[in-house]
Amino acid sequence: MNSDVRRYVTLLAVLIALGLGIGIGTLISRGAHRNHPLRENADPQPLAAPSPEQLSNSFARVAEMVEPAVVNINTETTVSVSDRGFGPQGESPDDDFFNHFFHFGKPGAPERFQRRSLGSGIILDPRGYILTNYHVVMQRHPDAPVDRIVVYLHGDEGTRYSARIVGADKLTDLAVIKIDAGRKLPAAQFGDSSSVKVGDWVLAIGSPFGLESTVTAGIISAKGRDIVPGIEGQFKHFLQTDAAINPGNSGGPLVDLAGQVIGINTAIATEQGSNDGVGFAIPSDTARAVYNSLIQSGKVQRGAIGVTFLDQTNPALLRSFGADHGVVVNNVEPGSPAERAGLKMGDVILAIDGRAVNTGDDLVQIVSQSRVGSKVKVDFLREGKQMTTSVEVADRDKIVAQQQASLGPNNPKGAPQDSGGPLGVSVQNLSPEQASQITKSLHLPRAEGVMVTQVAPEGFAADLNIQTGDVVLSINHQPVSSVDDFVRIQSTLRSGQDVLLLVARQTGRAFTTMFLADTLR
């Protein structure tokens, strides 16, 4: 009986404890539910759309900040009837409809009229210094210099201010003009274009089609765009934007949402003559350096050493010279600092003053920014051996003038001799006149080369952009003096082999040389 009582008491105690536990747990659970509702039972939170007012207010704030410093620029040029040509009707606002077709005028007297062009600019100094494009304010026709530059200020459209040119730089398409307004003018601030990112919002402000103070919005679509071929392209690397840019926007600012100028609107890519969503602006870092030079001396002085090279260097070309980086020298200008320092055609420039040279742009940037008269240390590779020399930096304008002084007559045609083969070109021997011209232009010790008469489409030569009229001087460092030499050397080439060609090409009235290389397919 005692044992039954004990079992009963024990069972009762367990039941009481269990009941207390459940009760306490239920109270705690209910409290937890009240304080922290379960996620699955909660109402879903609605998605909030960002307020369009924020972005709109940012645009409005920037426009209000920068617009007072943006100007409208008109130029007037006196053009004779012979200069008019058959351009688009209405190119001059003063065109008379009947005169456009019948050219009424005094018999025997040359007809002249005023051609007007429109552009924009940005005030960078309260004293009236304005940055714009070279092509907006400078002479557009060799026989028709700009007669007058007229500036209209924001909010003061009724007043015309005559401007004078402080300085201009054709290579970067930038110019500085100045007006005397008799008061301090609102000036914009330059930003840092190197910190701009693709996708950043920007505003373009200017006078498209003469519509003053027009503001358009877009983003930075790309950086470092190269749209200008040849030597001039070495100094023009653009910001690309889809902000609407049209004729008349040239010279106006491209600004970020901090209200700082990060570019100068310059060009558009279009098939219609107006905005297609692809506009280009000169980065502010470039514009700042040019502006500072122009206000100090009226021009931009750049350094040069007197070498030419390919815009792009491919791995096959570098391997042909035993290099893994660098720029191959195509030609050394006679009498230039490079020649005096001992540099030769075929040298591979590796570094300048300790700064690695991987592209032609690297070489141009380092040398052009070096002070004229200073000396730079050039590390280069010659026949597999690394060497160093000191080169004095000269004025680029003088170097270019010396290069353009190499003149000669146009190439006469000779009887073609077909060679065919894996290089995909047909060649012919040079005539005595051609041989003499090339020898003189390139300062060769003897006549060399064969002229390309035909290039096979999609062949090896076509891939290297070899053109009819080019002269092949050597193949894999072996001189080519005749078609027989060309055929003999070509017959030794095999698929998968790197092939290096030294080619001379006529540019204007002179020849320049270039190394071209690729792997033979």
CA distance 373 to 369: 12
Long-range contacts of 227-236 (CB under 8 A, 24+ apart): 227/267, 227/269, 227/280, 232/170, 232/171, 233/311, 234/311, 234/360, 234/361, 234/364, 235/171, 235/172, 235/286, 235/364, 235/368, 236/171, 236/172, 236/173, 236/282
Please answer whether residues 273 and 255 qualify as being in contact, where contact means their C-beta atoms are separated by less than 8 angstroms.
no
Residue labelled with tokens 């073609």: 416
Query: pLDDT, tens digit, for every residue of 438-492?
Result: 877 777 777 789 999 888 887 888 888 898 889 999 999 999 988 888 988 988 8
How far from the centroid of its chain's Cα atoms is residue 17's Cα? 84
476 and 500 fall within a common domain: yes
For residue 376, what are the β-bridge partners? 391
384 and 309 fall within a common domain: yes
Number of compact structural domains in the chain: 4
Cα distance between the two ends of the chain: 108
Residue 30 lies in a domain: no
Query: pLDDT, tens digit, for every residue of 142-184?
Result: 445 678 899 999 988 778 999 999 999 988 999 999 999 999 9
366 or 414, higher pLDDT: 366
Q: Compute the average pLDDT of residues 267-290.
A: 82
Give residue 240's domain range. Answer: 189-297
Query: pLDDT, tens digit, for every residue of 14-29?
Result: 555 555 555 555 544 5
Is it the case that residue 84 has pLDDT exceeding 50?
no
488 and 504 fall within a common domain: yes
Which CATH number characterizes residue 495's domain? 2.30.42.10
CA distance 306 to 303: 10
276 and 329 fall within a common domain: no
194 and 274 fall within a common domain: yes
Q: Which residues are catalytic?
A: 135, 173, 250
Residues in contact with 85: Cβ distance below 8 Å, sequence separation at least 6, in sequence order? none
118 and 173 fall within a common domain: yes
pLDDT value of residue 378: 97
154 and 251 fall within a common domain: no
Is it the case that residue 234 has pLDDT exceeding 80?
no
For residue 176, what are the β-bridge partners? 131, 167
**Assigned token pair, 519:** 């792997």
171 and 73 fall within a common domain: yes
Please answer whether residues 280 and 268 qualify as being in contact, where contact means their C-beta atoms are separated by less than 8 angstroms.
yes
Backbone dihedral angles phi then psi of residue 366, each to the nearest 5 degrees = -65, -50
Q: State how far the alpha carbon of 53 is from the alpha carbons of 50, 61, 76, 199, 244, in Å.
A: 9, 12, 43, 20, 21
Is it the case that residue 86 has pLDDT exceeding 50?
no
Of 73-82, 328-337, 373-382, 494-503, which has the strongest mean pLDDT? 373-382
Instruction: Mark which of 158, 178, 198 sits at the end of a domain.
Output: 178
261 and 238 fall within a common domain: yes
